[in-house]
Chains A and B, each alone.
Chain A
Amino acid sequence: MVDPHIAFSGAFQTLAAVESNPTGIVATAPLAPAIVVALCVVAGIATWLLLPGKREAAVRRIGGIILLATGLVFGAILVRWTTQLGGMSVYFWGFSAIAIFASVRVITHTKPVYSALYFVLTVFATAGLFVLMWAEFMAAALVLIYAGAILITYVFVIMLASEATTGAVGAAAEEVGSEHDLLSRSPFIASIIGFALAGLLIFLILDKGAQIPTPNRPVAGDLGSAQELGRNLLEENAINVQLAGVILTVAMVGAITLARRRVMVTPHDRSIETVVSPGTPVEDNPHSIPVYGTMNPRHKAYPET
Chain B
Amino acid sequence: MPEIFTNIALQHYLIVGGLMFAIGMIGFMTRRNLIVMFLSSELMFQGAAINFVAFGAYWGKMSGQSFVIFILAIAAAEAALALAIIVLLFRQKHTVDSQAFRELRG
Contacts and interface: CB of A to CB of B under 8 A. Distances in A.
A240 B66 CA distance: 10
Contacts of A261: 91
Q: Which size bracket describes the interface of B in this complex?
A: 35 or more
Contacts of A259: 84, 87-88
Given A18-B6, A276-B91, 8 more contacts: A99-B20, A133-B13, A142-B49, A209-B11, A209-B14, A219-B2, A244-B73, A251-B81
A229 B62 contact: yes
Nearest to A144: B72
A223 B22 contact: no
Contacts of B73: 244, 247-248
Interface stretch (A54-62, A85-93, A263-271, A281-289): A85-93
Interface string B23-47: 1111101111101101110110010
A96 B16 contact: yes
A252 to B, nearest CB: 6
A297 B98 CA distance: 40
Best-surrounded residue of B39, B54, B92, B99 (most CB of chain A within 10 A): B39
Given A129-B50, A254-B84, A103 B65 contact: no
A122 B7 CA distance: 25
Contacts of A92: 9, 12
B95 to A, nearest CB: 6
A254 B78 CA distance: 11
A172 interface: no
Contact of A138 (B27, B65, B85, B90): B65
A177 B83 CA distance: 21
Interface of B: 1-2, 4-16, 18-27, 29-33, 35-36, 38-40, 42-43, 46, 49-50, 53-54, 56-60, 62-63, 65-66, 68-70, 72-81, 83-88, 90-92, 94-99
A20 B33 contact: no
A150 B78 CA distance: 10
Given A135-B56, A184-B31, A100 B72 contact: no
Given A119-B43, A223-B60, A255-B83, A240 B70 contact: yes
A174 interface: no
B62 A180 contact: no
Contacts, number: 294
Contacts of A248: 73, 76-77
Best-surrounded residue of A27, A100, A133, A158 (most CB of chain B within 10 A): A133
B35 A161 contact: yes
Given A106-B39, A138-B65, A180-B95, A247 B58 contact: no
A32 interface: no
Given A112-B35, A205-B15, A205-B18, A119 B42 contact: yes
Contact of A149 (B16, B40, B76): B76
B40 A107 contact: yes
A126 B49 contact: yes
Given A179-B97, A180-B96, A205 B63 contact: no
Contact of A82 (B8, B62, B99): B8
Given A51-B30, A133-B13, A145-B76, A86 B6 contact: yes
A38 B33 CA distance: 31
A237 to B, nearest CB: 5
A220 B35 contact: no
A47 B60 contact: no
27 contacts: A92-B9, A92-B12, A103-B46, A106-B36, A116-B35, A116-B39, A122-B43, A122-B46, A129-B16, A130-B50, A135-B68, A138-B69, A145-B75, A149-B76, A150-B79, A157-B86, A185-B29, A201-B14, A201-B18, A201-B19, A212-B7, A217-B4, A217-B58, A219-B2, A229-B66, A232-B62, A244-B73
